[in-house]
Amino acid sequence: MDSFELNKIAGAVLGALTVTLTLNAVAGLVFGQHEPEKPGYEVAALDESGGGGGGAAAAAPIEARLAKADPAKGEAAAKKCGACHSFEKGGPAKAGPNLYGIVGLKHAHMQGFGYSAAMKATTDKTWDFANLDHWVENPKGYIPGTSMAFAGIKSPEERANLLAYLNKNSDSPQPLPAAPAEGEKPAAAGGDKGAAAPAGGGDFKALVAAADVKKGEQVAKKCGACHSFDKGGPAKAGPNLYGIVGLKHAHMEGFGYSAAMKATSDKVWDVENLSHWLENPKAYVPGTSMAFAGIKSPEERAALIAYLNKNSDAPVDLGAAGGGDAKPAAPAEAAPAPQGGPAPGQPGSTPPAEQPK
């Protein structure tokens, strides 16, 4: 074989390599892999509501859903959280804190656990049913900056079942909040105060006059973490409430009321004002520091006010107050209690009232 033949063979090999490299480059441009803008995979929550995009907006209030909730189904739902949380009394922290008796405890309640800065900033808030419902639905929406990498449970019914189980899994389960009456929503639509239509006037005062004081005393026990009720009792997160009916707003000397509450110090806590406050604190005193959604049931508000009125040296004559404004029985008054809020470390249902500054 002479040199001419060798050159032909070498040329053929080089040509084949050139064609191969060209084809490889073209294939890379056509079928190349592109790096994602955000590495990893988005873990989306399973929407079991079956209602499409508008399901969450149409969800019934948590009070109504809790009334129909199944703790056994909630316990099954809680098993999905077992990798990050323990549920037994005294259980250890895992990736998340122990959740025994969580309903009513403060945010960032577990001593020694490494909560995010965002969660620590909410330590004045309480895990009541409404807050837990918002958190479980969308943790990053409820507390922006939280380190919990969970997309949330979108099914309102599943959240209610889970909350019913968490409430039952406690030394002191909380009374479930009263479900809104069927007629409450239409009545609310007619005014600026939501369910405020029955909140004041003779009809509501008659409701207070006929209310069960014992039932109101039971409701008031849920406020014990934030308020004392005994005569001369100390301020806690909120002021002492002995003899509250008839006292002025921001009445308690030395208590750190918000500027908004101080600005209403000329007003009296009569039956009507107490009802509006308990129904929606932020609507009654815009700018108040009390982070409480309110008691929507007129009957529950009436029972609580009846108890607050009786818990006094000079109760107001509610029977004579049916047609006009209640006459104050005592000189000046403070911000009433939220619906929920247990003693520290015990379950309760609402954040504190008027935090001391």
Backbone angles phi, psi at 54, to 5 degrees: -90, 5
Beta carbons of 239 and 335 less than 8 angstroms apart: yes
**Is the pLDDT assigned to residue 318 strictly greater than 90?**
no
pLDDT at 37 (0 to 100): 55
The pLDDT tens digits of the residues spanning 168-210 come to 999 989 988 887 665 454 333 333 333 333 444 457 888 888 8
pLDDT at 347 (0 to 100): 37
| Three-class DSSP category at 268 | strand
At the fourth CATH level, the homologous superfamily of domain 60-168 is Cytochrome c-like domain (1.10.760.10)
**Is the pLDDT assigned to residue 131 strictly greater than 70?**
yes
pLDDT at 11 (0 to 100): 85
pLDDT at 8 (0 to 100): 81
Nearest-5° Cα angle at 168, 290 to 133: 45
- In this prediction, residue 32 has a pLDDT band, given cuts at 50, 70 and 90, of low
For residues 202 and 323, give the distance between their C-alpha atoms in angstroms, rounded to a whole number: 5
Look at the alpha carbons of 31, 32, 37, 43 in this order and tell me if their dihedral is positive or negative. positive
For residues 158 and 70, give the distance between their C-alpha atoms in angstroms, rounded to a whole number: 9
For residues 338 and 290, give the distance between their C-alpha atoms in angstroms, rounded to a whole number: 8
Q: Which of 80-89, 264-273, 345-354 has the lowest mean pLDDT?
A: 345-354
Q: What is the CATH number of domain 196-321?
A: 1.10.760.10
Q: What is the mean pLDDT of the chain?
A: 77
For residues 20 and 347, give the distance between their C-alpha atoms in angstroms, rounded to a whole number: 72
DSSP class of residue 309? H
Q: Which residues contact 233 (CB under 8 A, 6 or more apart)?
A: 240, 242
Q: Which of 48-62, 184-198, 221-235 has the lowest mean pLDDT?
A: 184-198
Residue with tokens 């911000």: 335
Q: Which of 62-66, 76-80, 122-126, 180-184 has the lowest mean pLDDT?
A: 180-184
Q: Which is more confidently placed, 335 or 262?
A: 262
**Is the pLDDT assigned to residue 1 strictly greater than 70?**
no
**Is the pLDDT assigned to residue 21 strictly greater than 70?**
yes
**Is the pLDDT assigned to residue 9 strictly greater than 80?**
yes
For residues 122 and 116, give the distance between their C-alpha atoms in angstroms, rounded to a whole number: 10
User: In the chain, where does the domain assigned CATH 1.10.760.10 lie?
Assistant: 60-168, 196-321
Q: Which tokens sit at 320?
A: 């004579």
For residues 217 and 50, give the distance between their C-alpha atoms in angstroms, rounded to a whole number: 41
